[in-house]
Amino acid sequence: MSTSMATGSAQLDATATPPRLQVAGDWTLAHYASLEQAVAALKPPLGTDTVIDLSGLGALDTAGASLLAEVLGASRLGDLAQADPTLPAAQRALLQTIGAAMADYREPKLIRQGNTLTDLLSRIGAAMENVWHQQVQLLGFIGLTLQTFARTVLLPRRWRVTSLVAHLEETGLDAVPIVVLLTFMVGAVVAFLGSTVLADFGATIYTVDLVAYSFLREFGVLLTAILMAGRTASAFTAQIGSMKANEEIDAIRALGLDPMELLVLPRVLAMLAALPMLTFLAMIAGLVGGGLVCALVLDIPPVMFVNLIKSDIGVRHFLVGIAKAPVFAFLIAVIGCLEGFKVSGSAESVGEHTTSSVVQSIFVVILIDAVAALFYMEMGW
């Protein structure tokens, strides 16, 4: 390789037949400014019939090679470097590499600047499309869960009893203190506020009916479902998502096991068993909280409180409330498991899908509860 420090040059002899381009000197970063002017004067790229003479080429680096690629064209530069035996091996390799890289290069597309209204409508449309895809995935996962249950329910040897009991303890027994405490406090607040309002009408006795009616039909199951959505759905997503990130689910499939049967079904069944029992405890705790306020503030003794509930509140109100618990339980468990399977493999993805599972679960619970309330009202139940 030449060790001269002469500035590189490119002389085009247009009078020759065919035209001839003489490349000489050092094509390096130190001479980039003058080389760029010489290349611009040639109005690249040159025609394919132009003969290229690289015999006078001195030092060469990537900056000079990129300018040669601009003059000759990326594909022709690579072919020329491969065909010219006079070039040192290092220069041939560099020219071929630059030619291949420049051939794959594409000019980035300019992003069209839209106005505020267009951007807003675009984001709304993207959000709606995302919601639609989520609902389609949820329906498909519900079908897959039901299919797995139907396939295994008649095969006792495939039941995961140990896993079911463990999840039942985690989702049910461990949640009893927080559910009972919260509903007890809410029951007391509802009774206190109800008595304050009803006192203006001289109807404080109906505070008992207010507490019983609200907790048996709505608050008992709704508060419990929201608590389980925040507590258990997030746990399901984090557990399955961590397994997905660590490729443990792939290992389960490699062992010939079904992740739906091994991971999803025990969690769904545990939630189906736990939520109705927790709902019943929440109803009792809410009534106890309301009864305590009635006893302390309204001078309604517990015996009278219970007798008023027995005479004024029918069993159908309890059945209306408890009937919603299995539906909520199934949807919460399925959403939590589905979001766990969506995790892509990073800790950030686990956090995002855990948040998404909680938000979706609470939204679905409130939506289904509102629809059910309208349905019961129209049916007169």
Sign (positive or negative) of CA dihedral 304, 308, 314, 319: negative
Do 63 and 196 fall within a single domain? no
114 occurs within a structural domain: no
Work out how many domains the chain is built from and give that number.
2
Do 193 and 75 fall within a single domain? no
Q: Which of 59, 81, 104 is the last residue of a domain?
A: 104
Q: Which of 104, 121, 156 is the last residue of a domain?
A: 104
111 occurs within a structural domain: no
How confident is the model at residue 19, as a pLDDT?
78
**Each residue of 124-183: pLDDT tens digit?**
999 899 889 888 998 999 999 999 899 888 888 888 889 899 999 999 899 999 999 999
The answer, yes or no, to whether residue 2 has pLDDT greater than 60, is no
Do 329 and 237 fall within a single domain? yes
Do 226 and 317 fall within a single domain? yes
How confident is the model at residue 1, as a pLDDT?
37
User: For residues 131 and 133, what is the distance between their CA atoms, to the nearest angstrom?
Assistant: 5
pLDDT bin (cut points 50, 70, 90) of residue 335 is very high
Do 219 and 79 fall within a single domain? no
Q: 297: domain range? A: 135-379
The answer, yes or no, to whether residue 348 has pLDDT greater than 60, is yes
Is the CB of residue 63 less than 8 Å from the CB of residue 32?
yes
Question: Alpha-carbon dihedral of residues 67, 68, 73, 77, nearest 10 degrees?
Answer: -140
87 occurs within a structural domain: yes
**Each residue of 63-114: pLDDT tens digit?**
877 877 777 777 677 667 666 667 777 877 887 787 777 766 666 666 666 6
User: For residues 70 and 46, what is the distance between their CA atoms, to the nearest angstrom?
Assistant: 9
- Rounded mean pLDDT of 241-250? 87
Q: What pTM does this model have?
A: 0.68
3-state secondary structure of 189: helix
Q: What is the CATH number of the domain that holds 79?
A: 3.30.750
Written as one string, the DSSP assignment of 100-133 is: HHHHH--PPPPPP---HHHHHHHHHHHHHHHHHH
Q: Which of 104, 121, 145 is the last residue of a domain?
A: 104
Do 49 and 139 fall within a single domain? no
> What is the distance in angstroms between the CA of the first residue and the CA of the last residue of the chain?
95
